Structure 1
């Protein structure tokens, strides 16, 4: 067992929110497992380093099922319904099989022309006014993924702004009551959406999921459809919002890399992968709970529903895996990063996120010569909590 004192990450304040990497690096130097209190208030076992983190992401002795959580943790489930994100095998296997029939990489790639149209329209609005500056989060990073996933699922366009507000509160707020209110509002909204799609199906993914079945006739239940709607609408856009913002911010604060990409847009896919590695949109994944004691490099994490968090942000900054890991380099081989997770819970929407980021970043740079950050990077305000990582706003000028 570790004997080190409990580290209160919330007490580290804005410095940790803005730049958690030095803290993770100091912990990694002492070992892979540390007892912490997370900013949301619960105590957890934080795992740092690439090898240990990657192994635990695929370790099915850690459960994603909230019923396995120890009541002593005092944590409250945020997501709604039953989804892959909160299920273990064999339930997870069944759900993923049903959803994968509709959510295929080929179907996602067919969306690319439509993603380009949406991106062009947003950039028209951003650059068409009298000014030559904007908040990129509000102008492009946020509305593009939201528009894509809402169109994919057939969500009315007029509801997107309010849904975005609920979503951001549910996954980032440190106020438990605010998270609960946002989750309740989203639950009611999504239940109505599923009911409407069941009554009047359209040519969209949610309608397809309602009617899809496997060879044995198995279908998603009402609760599973609700969970799937939550997973796609929240996870399906929150991560991509911050992937786009983090990618642009990383490029604008590394002018040599920005120049390299401008001179050869053949590097765009690699630039997206390096962004995922260097400044990925998910700092730690959704909660995992112990089902039995786990020995990680000599430290025993007790069983009984203890909360375990893998610092994916640190895994991908581990110099044992990536030489000069704190350097942003769009020409490096970033393969093997865990920004989309690892194991059975690897992100189903990874192909779509890559498509959106690739199109958004390239189109922005092509449309906005001289694009620059319109504030001191130290003045940026970052998302709170340890799930989603990205700036709350990103002032740019061109």
Structure 2
């Protein structure tokens, strides 16, 4: 969410930044809405001033025993009162119209974000590790083709229970998924200094508005009853921990993490990744959220990216880091790094983590501020979020990168303590 005063003062820069994201110029439209609001408020203030003045004149007219003038003034005050009542309702409509227009404007990219229309414009920042070399002659298999994983991946039963884009994990694969999640949360809490949180999976629409999923992306969400939605990511409840709050400066940075299920309708992905468990309606993810002072947020982005990368390094997985271009960034992001893990079965890289800095974009929507030490002044915090990492995709990466000639899967050493020492699946 943007401050309309800032847009007025920086309208040209605002429109240029929107153009980089592929959006039409909006400053003039937004300023016109604000002008209408301001003009109406001015008329209301003039009416209120006249009502107050007329009320005083009534007293003088009655003291002078001028009944006709007193009655005329009373009629005028009654008319003004009616105008003000109707005008206050119109003011609320004008404020709502401006807020609605502002709420669908995306965040503005930082200057160093590469320009581009879609993922083809993303830029490789670095490549880490080497692609695995297998001892067998045939091409590496995808996760759902591995004999060692076949018994643990039950798509047919999931379809019977819930429909497409669901999976039932069984036995050793269910345990491996649990091991991955527990491993990630342990790394982030014990090594990276994040505080573990167990948040609700159902949130009000106000929480989703605060982080930017509503109103623009409602079709991507699963709505339940009333105004409750299933979370698409733990970013929503974790970031909203500071919604409406005034945080002490010494409490920043605030770093929290959660291992939760996430729920997405996958609107617009019909026909994409229909085989296997790459794109699911329900999946587990270890989420990272940071709340910082404005001057610290860019350094925090690099730190968060390093925390997510550390998980993949410990798992021994080959990956690359991409700087997303303006056309591929999320709605609330100012800058985003994607980590793409190598999947030998697909012979390609696939996103497994996304780390973004949002500046004060979300903080303004949720009114999250901090008090500068020793001062009365308040300022909006900056927020960041990142996957630390997606558990389901990490499971796929482990299955494909650690596959053996007989279809079995070697368990990475760092996961064996979580698997009761098990070294091989299948």
TM-score grouping bracket, smaller chain normalisation: under 0.3
Higher strand share: 2
Higher relative contact order (CA 8 A, sep 6+): 1
Larger radius of gyration: 2
Question: TM-score, normalised on structure 1?
Answer: 0.23
